[in-house]
Amino acid sequence: MPELRSCHVTRRRFLSGLGAAGLGSSVAPGSLFLPAEAARGQAAQLGAAASGTGSGSAALGQEAFQLLPLGSIRPRGWLQSQLRIQARGLSGHLDETWADVGPNSGWLGGSGESWERGPYYLDGLVPLAYLLEDSELKAKAQRYLDWTLEHQAANGMFGPASNDDWWPRMVMLKALTQYQEVSGDQRVMPLMDRYFRHQLAALPTRPLRDWGRFRWQDEVLSVVWLYRRSGDAYLLELARMLHGQGYDWMAEFADFPYRQRVDRESLQLNHGGGLKDLGLATHGVNNAQGVKAGAVWSLISGAAADRQSSLTMIAELDRYHGLPNGMFSCDEHLAGLNPSQGSELCSVVEYMFSLEQCLAVTGDPMLGDRLEKLAFNALPGTFTDDMWAHQYNQEPNQVECSLHHKPWTTDGPESNLYGLEPNFGCCTANYHQGWPKFTAALFLLAGGSGTGEAAGLAAAAYAPCEARARVQGTEVTIVEETEYPFRGSVRLEVNPASALRFPLHLRIPAWAEGTTVRVNGDEQPAAKAGTFARIERTWNHGDRVEIEFPMQPRISRWFNRSMAVERGPLVFSYGIDESWVKLRDRGMTADWQVFPGSQWNYGLSASEDTARELKATETPVGDAPFARRQTPVALEAKAVRLDAWRAVDGVADPVPASPAAGNAEAENIRLIPYGAAKLRITAFPQAEG
């Protein structure tokens, strides 16, 4: 794969051509890693409400956990290396090479792109800059933030005057809330208050439409964020209005109608009249964002059925469109179970954000399992190793990345190229939030909502980090040392400022039967897979928790009874030899086609009973943990060539039904983590015999 250092159309224009009309986290106690001046600014402005338990908390519905403010969790180890790769890549230089977020951006007061791309970019740039304490990235973000905060209209509207769409402001609100959490900037909350009051007055005659109508839940998060701090009742009225005008995701998935691949004809794209509800309801990114609708709305409604609806939505998407990498197919609309269909990168990072929010509200550990699967597979699988280029669509069975229209329903022939802005630039602007927000959600506050103190802490997902939180009035620091997901050992050092009794909740993945937990060397009661293990004790400075997750390979079943190989949260693929061919230079980066240099049409000689026998080879976890050149773990498997399984126009035919007959002797093949294999087979037929 090359080290990258060096027919533009927007999604909005594309949809217009088809006739289309045109968050911050839930904050909880403590300023934590904030600079002292930021912490003082928050305290002066918010008073008692700075802890996230102001007068508004008691009126909200039940939630199992609360997300920590941005800056409470810092990356370490391989995760810090991954964020630095991102900062050295397009995320750190996009404004220097892409006009859509460049100096003429409408979100900098210019006449350039004035819709979603500036806010999208900032939504990921702000957490990346502050998690790395990168002064250059902070300065880049500050230009957009300052312009936005200093140019609010007299009526409360903010953003470019040339565009009054509610939708891009929903994204900018997410960026502003994160920024306020980590900086204490006293301009943010007054701007939000003026805007929300304006919107409450304007919505009856200028209601939500198009993208904003389907993404209302993203703004409700920001409304709740402000309500926790101010307790102003009008904010609940605004949340109800957004919900009332927004698309009813809960009703759709109560009897899910979209159970097949959505084709161009069913969308009526050639009939004029715009991308109507069918197209928007089956749009992949809308669904990824819609997953959190029920959980978010339950904060207002208090209804258990609303919390449950987010889990129902995930189950239905899995049942009819699920793929082995943790995603559902959406290229650009829901596309069925065939692993040669793809998923849009925007949908990956938005699905991750939805899962982070849903996990905090519902406390369901399954959501942490899925979050890790996306973060450790689908997310790195759609970037070059140096994060200077990305795909618009990725496929689990991806045998070529070239200029073909197949298999996409509505997307163009550049959809799975690696480049600056293949197909549409929305993903170029939006993908930056994936790794930083995952980092910020590794630990959660447990209990205490509305009481003024958190009762305990929860490990929601696992990666090397350091977390600080205020628990029952005492500052607690947890240092996590681990090479997970490549290894099964996790070590937590718990450091309260003084001895403190509180519960520590440890998520035990559903695949991790047989997990052991020790505290200071003493084994704890058996940890049940698919639950949060609760350890309540008096913690002292230097106490150590050691978790050992079993890492035996296992088989999962998919389309046509195909098999995927998993180990821990990692999915493994056969990495096809790659031939990278530059299509064109694109400023500081380039667009690339990737062609196969080896055979790929294998059936696995394995089963659920024999999966544990697959030989694992572990090597050191380097600075580029998902790079193919140094994969920290690989598996060896027996496989048989299936000559009847072919590719047409660069796309693998649907995986043959298992068991499938081969016509060659079994051979050993090497399986590597999905994220490292840019050409790959992930869903294999089971070889006959």
Mean pLDDT score across all residues of the chain? 91
pLDDT computed for residue 653 by the predictor: 97
pLDDT band at 163 (very low <50, low <70, confident <90, very high): very high
Is the per-residue pLDDT at 268 higher than 90?
Answer: no
**What confidence tens digit (pLDDT) does each residue in 485-525 have?**
999 999 999 999 999 999 999 999 999 999 999 999 999 99
Q: Tell me which residue has tokens 């949060």.
A: 532
Whether 465 contacts 493, CB under 8 Å: no
SS3 of residue 406 by DSSP = coil
H-helix or E-strand containing 619?
none
Q: Is 193 exposed, middle or buried (0-12, 13-18, 19+ CB in 10 A)?
A: middle
- Confidence band (pLDDT; 50, 70, 90) for 82? very high
Identify the three-state secondary structure at position 398: strand
Instruction: Average the pLDDT over each of 22-26, 209-213, 352-356 and give the range with the smallest value.
Output: 22-26
SS3 320: helix
Q: Would you state the pLDDT for residue 454?
A: 85
**Residue 35 scores a pLDDT above 90:** no
Higher pLDDT, 46 or 528: 528
pLDDT tens-digit series, residues 88-123: 999 999 999 999 999 999 999 999 999 999 999 999
The DSSP bridge partners found for residue 592 are 418, 582
| pLDDT score at 52 | 39
End-to-end CA distance of the chain: 36
- The pair of three-digit structure tokens given for residue 662, joined into one six-digit string: 């081969």
Using the predicted structure, report yes or no on whether residue 261 has a pLDDT greater than 70: yes
The pLDDT, as a whole number, for residue 447 is 84
Give dist(CA 616, CA 658) in Å, integer. Answer: 25
| pLDDT at residue 272, as a whole number | 58
Among the listed residues 522, 471, 525, the one whose alpha carbon sits nearest the alpha carbon of residue 499: 471
pLDDT tens readout for residues 476-490: 999 999 999 999 999
Res 56 pLDDT > 70: no
87, 134 in Cβ contact below 8 A? yes
Q: What is the pLDDT of residues 430-477, one digit of tens each?
A: 999 999 999 999 999 998 654 346 899 999 999 999 999 999 999 999
Q: What are phi and psi of 124, to 5 degrees?
A: -105, -30
Residue 136's contacts (CB-CB under 8 Å, 6 or more residues apart) are 92
342, 391, 412, 414, 613 from 409: Cα distances, Å: 10, 17, 9, 13, 40
- Asked whether 230 and 49 are in contact (CB, 8 A), the reply is yes
* pLDDT score at 318: 98
The answer, yes or no, to whether residue 7 has pLDDT greater than 80, is no
Q: Can you give the pLDDT at residue 426?
A: 97
pLDDT band at residue 633 using 50, 70 and 90 as cut-offs? very high
Position of tokens 């002064």? 135
Cα three-residue angle 244-249-255, rounded to 5 degrees? 125
pLDDT of residue 351: 98
Q: Please say if the pLDDT value at position 58 is more than 90.
A: no
Tell me the fold of 21-440: Glycosyltransferase (1.50.10)
| Residue 596 parent element (H or E) | strand 589-596
- The CA–CA distances, whole Å, from 643 to 24, 605, 657 equal 51, 16, 14
Q: What percent of the chain has pLDDT over 90?
A: 86
pTM (global) more than 0.85: yes
| Residue 269 banded pLDDT, cuts 50, 70, 90 | low
Identify the helix (H) or strand (E) that includes residue 539: strand 531-539
Predicted confidence at residue 265, as pLDDT, reads 83
DSSP state of 393: E
Average pLDDT on 67-84 reads 98
**Sole residue written with tokens 């061919």:** 581
Token duo for residue 275: 């991308």
Q: What is the pLDDT of residue 27?
A: 30
Candidates 460, 459, 624, 457; CA nearest to 539 is 457
* Adjacent-strand bridge partners of 615: 636
How many whole angstroms separate alpha carbon 600 and alpha carbon 413?
Answer: 22
Question: How far is residue 355's CA from residue 72's CA, in Å, rounded to a whole number?
Answer: 19
In a 10 Å sphere around its CB, with 0-12 CB exposed, 13-18 middle and 19+ buried, how is residue 554 labelled?
A: middle
Rounded CA separation 527/490 (Å): 14
pLDDT band at 23 (very low <50, low <70, confident <90, very high): very low
* Phi and psi torsions of 339, nearest 5°: -70, 0
Q: Could you tell me the residue ranges of all domains in the chain?
A: 21-440
Residue type, 375: A
Whole-number CA gyration radius for the chain = 24
Per-residue pLDDT, 674? 98
Q: Which residues pair with 468 in a beta bridge?
A: 477
How many CA atoms lie less than 13 Å away from 13 in the CB half-sphere? 8
> Does the pLDDT at position 411 exceed 70?
yes
pLDDT tens, position by position, 536-575: 999 999 999 999 999 999 999 999 999 999 999 999 999 9
Q: Tell me the pLDDT tens digit for each residue of 566-616.
A: 999 999 999 999 999 999 999 999 999 999 999 999 999 999 999 999 999
Check residue 47 and give its pLDDT. Answer: 31
Contact 203, 53 (CB under 8 A): no
Contact (Cβ atoms closer than 8 angstroms) between residue 684 and residue 578:
no
The least confident of 128-132, 275-279, 344-348, 637-641 is 275-279
Q: Are strands 343-344 and 393-394 parallel, antiparallel or unpaired?
A: antiparallel
pLDDT bracket for residue 146 (50, 70, 90): very high
pLDDT at 662 over 60: yes
Q: What is the pLDDT of residues 377-396, one digit of tens each?
A: 999 999 999 999 999 999 99
Residue 274 in this model has a pLDDT that exceeds 60: no
Closest among 391, 390, 396, 389 to 373, alpha carbons compared: 396
Angle at 91 between CA 87 and CA 74, to 5 degrees: 45
Q: Give the pairing type, strands 456-459 and 500-508.
A: parallel
C-alpha neighbours within 13 Å on the C-beta side of residue 1: 24
CA 531 to chain centre: 22
Cα separation, 161 vs 145, in Å, equals 16
If you count them, how many residues does the chain have?
Answer: 689
Question: pLDDT band at 271, cuts 50/70/90?
Answer: low
pLDDT at 24 over 70: no
Cis peptide before 365 (omega within 30 of 0): no
Task: Tell me the β-bridge partners of 532.
Answer: 507
What pLDDT does 580 receive? Answer: 98
CA angle in degrees (0–180, nearest 5) for 534-519-510 = 45
